[in-house]
Structure 1
Amino acid sequence: MITKHQLFSMMILFEIGSTTLFVLGIGAKQDAWIVILLATLAGLLLLCIYFLLQKRHPGKGIGEMLLDICGPIIGFPLVVLYAGYFTYCTSINLRDFCELVSITQLEYTPLPVIMVIIILPIFYLLYCGVSSLAKLSEILFTIFIISVATIYILVIVSGIFHPGFLLPVLSNGFFSLFNMDLVKTIEFPYGEIVAFLALWKFTESPSQYRRSSVKAILCTGAFLVITDIFILCTLGADYAAISTIPLFKVIRLINIKNIITNLNAVGVVLIFIGGFFKICIFFFAAVLTLEPILKISRKIIILIVGAVVCTNTLSIPGFLQHVWASNYVRTPYVHGLFQIAIPPVLLLASLAKSPEKKKREQHSTDVFPS
């Protein structure tokens, strides 16, 4: 079972994940942090939809929900599609972090070697089960928070933090924030919480997972706002928009009296912790989604999904092509479909199905009285 503290740690590390590779909402320039605030509110609304789905199907993961709501004819293809979506998300996140390690630390190491180094501990952790992943999250969460706080302090002490870069605020008006960047920020990272529909069934009680999830969303929003402000106040909006890994650029600028400098390794570890959990949870979600239809050992499913992930990871183009595809293909079509479009329809179908079920039960009671 997953405790409320473990769920809180898992969700924050998952949500932050690969957001550290980008400046969210940068299309709004110096108002990017306001876009994140709006996206956080929208993320809470999405979370309510996921909560209602889980409440109507307690103790079940997304695979069982789809089969219950849609029946085998429609439910089976949807289970396969959702498992494929989670598998693909695992692949693109794995590719992101293979590229990160290649760019920053292991420039001359072949990408497949880096991928194997990253994926092997993930395989082992998933073989151990979700409880092991949850316990690890508590340990790494503490390291993550201390590292982030240290970097923020060092940026300020270095004298490279310039609050004036945030001005003017709302120079193009408030309604200019409601653009494609807001949609992308809702889907990434808040919409990705859909993966936890596969994991909430392992929590101790419904009230605990709801409270922990809401707290995690709010804390994630606060972290992303603060991180965006630090990046914008250090690099400026124009330079941040064209930087490959903006947070890494900020960390490289830290220099205190030529004593505290060259913190690249700290930056890689910090970014990697979030990415590691994003890969693990998407991977686990894909495996758990397939379980109701494959009816075979979870370890065999892990090997099957792992083989697909490794194949997909190597077939994904380079980092810049991946960013382009994320902006113009995955965000408007793929993520929006699985995160925002399908869950409300499933909820409505579940609500519509309940009265029919009650009528059938009442009819069977009338025909066959006890």
Structure 2
Amino acid sequence: MLENGKISTRQFTLMLFSLLLSTIMFGLPRILIEQSKQDVWQVMLITLVLDALLAIIYFILGMRYPQQTMIQYSETILGPWLGKITGLLYVLFFGYMTLIILKTVSEFVDTVLLTDTPELVINFILLLVSLYAVNAGLEVVARLSEVIAPLMLIPLMIILTFSLNRVELGNLRPVFQHNVWELLKSSLQPISWYGICITMGIFMAYHNNPKESLKAKLIAIGGVTVLTIMTLMSLITIFGTSYSNQQIYPVFRLAQIIKVGDFFERIETLVIIFQIAGAFVGLVILYYSSVLGLAQIFKIQRYQTLTPYFGVIMLILSVFVFSNITEMNQFTESIFPYLAIFIEDFLIMMLLIVSLIRHGIKKT
């Protein structure tokens, strides 16, 4: 399996929790508020249900093909050629998400922290540190999630708590503005980002108790959904929908207006810690999934052989793929949801159907 490490249910949960929270807290609140306004909480609940159903499919396949990642059981189900193509599509998706997180966090750091530092330098440092963590193995990546998850959760809870005195409940009206079809359409954006947790199909093979993998996934997405709804409601009740959907980094803007007495005014520092720490663990998880998947496709004995090459490719692409954050946001809002749903939903449903046809309902 190219990896001898094992992860616990708690580590599995925190890996998925950190990965998902880190990806949706940068730009997704703005997009969701723009699309759904005060009904955004309904969209998030629909997203939770849809992603939970998707998790069940990944769980079923993981249990049918124990100790195989999604890359490996794609070949078992579809045969060597179609299986490799399917596995490569998953790897390309992981690589693309690695690039998106890299670009997003470097733009954030360049905007709010190191304004005179070239983006290429920031990307190089992030990739270099990530490479070191990925080379250390899955158990190190899992322990990293255990450390960073509180660094994400605690600052976010502080911000949400100390912003309560600025809440205007009247901003929550009107409610139920959208019909079911409009809500389902709006859920395309968050479900495509929630689908990043298809890394479940990688890590389930290394879970020391695979039967608890579904529970870990449901706890992770449930916790992130609650935090996301709380954050969205805070933004709407404090800023209103019109102002919130104009902010590139709405959570950072929320932290800027908070003051705790006369001794703690720069709470946005917590957001910087929260965003960068979360993005880093997300970057490491996707980096790891990409190189491990490539190694399994091409039967390379040590995935660490590929980590420097993958890092160089990501560094080059980070310069040429998107010229600025606006261009990247336009792509992720318009085209990305459809590509993501094809990779995250269609492929896995196809694998399940073919698996049932070829290997029967009760696989032996």
TM-score, normalisation: structure 1: 0.91
Residue 308 (str. 1) matches residue 313 (str. 2): yes
CA drift at 1:25: 2.3
Which residue of the partner structure matches residue 284 of structure 2? 280
Q: Determine if contact 1:163/1:233 at 8 Å carries over to the other structure.
A: yes
Q: Determine if contact 1:62/1:198 at 8 Å carries over to the other structure.
A: yes
* Aligned pair partner of 1:119 in 109, 121, 127: 127
Identify unmatched segments of 5+ residues in structure 2: 1-5
CA–CA distance in structure 2, aligned partners of residues 329 and 176 of structure 1? 18
CA–CA distance in structure 2, aligned partners of residues 320 and 310 of structure 1? 19
1:157-180 CA distance string (max 9 Å, x none): xx322222111211344553222x
Which residue of the partner structure matches residue 366 of structure 1? none
CA drift at 1:304: 2.3
CA–CA distance in structure 2, aligned partners of residues 293 and 191 of structure 1? 22
CA drift at 1:67: 1.0
Q: Structure 1 residues 259, 3: CA separation in 2 closer, same or farther (over 3 Å shift)?
A: same
1:319-356 CA distance string (max 9 Å, x none): 11111001111112x21110111110011011111149
1:21 is paired with a residue whose SS is coil
Q: Structure 1 residues 44, 101: CA separation in 2 closer, same or farther (over 3 Å shift)?
A: same
Residue 176 (str. 1) matches residue 218 (str. 2): no
Q: Determine if contact 2:149/2:278 at 8 Å carries over to the other structure.
A: no
Q: Determine if contact 1:61/1:288 at 8 Å carries over to the other structure.
A: no
CA drift at 1:242: 1.3
- Mapping for residues 210-359 of structure 1, pairs under 5 Å: 210-296=214-300, 297-317=302-322, 318-332=324-338, 334-355=339-360
* Aligned pair partner of 2:61 in 37, 49, 53: 53
* Sequence identity (%): 22
CA–CA distance in structure 2, aligned partners of residues 263 and 282 of structure 1? 29
* Aligned pair partner of 1:162 in 160, 168, 185: 168
Letter in 2 for 1:299: Q
CA drift at 1:144: 2.3
1:242 is paired with a residue whose SS is coil
Tell me which moved more, 5-14 or 76-85: 76-85
CA drift at 1:192: 1.2
Letter in 2 for 1:124: Y
CA–CA distance in structure 2, aligned partners of residues 32 and 140 of structure 1? 28
CA drift at 1:277: 1.9
Alignment: residue pair count: 354
1:55 is paired with a residue whose SS is helix
CA–CA distance in structure 2, aligned partners of residues 154 and 249 of structure 1? 14
Which has more radius of gyration? 1
Q: Structure 1 residues 172, 357: CA separation in 2 closer, same or farther (over 3 Å shift)?
A: closer
* Aligned pair partner of 1:91 in 86, 99, 119: 99
- Superposed CA RMSD in Å reads 1.8
CA drift at 1:3: 0.7
Identify unmatched segments of 5+ residues in structure 1: 362-370
2:352 is paired with a residue whose SS is helix
Which residue of the partner structure matches residue 32 of structure 2? 25
Tell me which moved more, 139-148 or 313-322: 139-148
CA–CA distance in structure 2, aligned partners of residues 137 and 219 of structure 1? 15
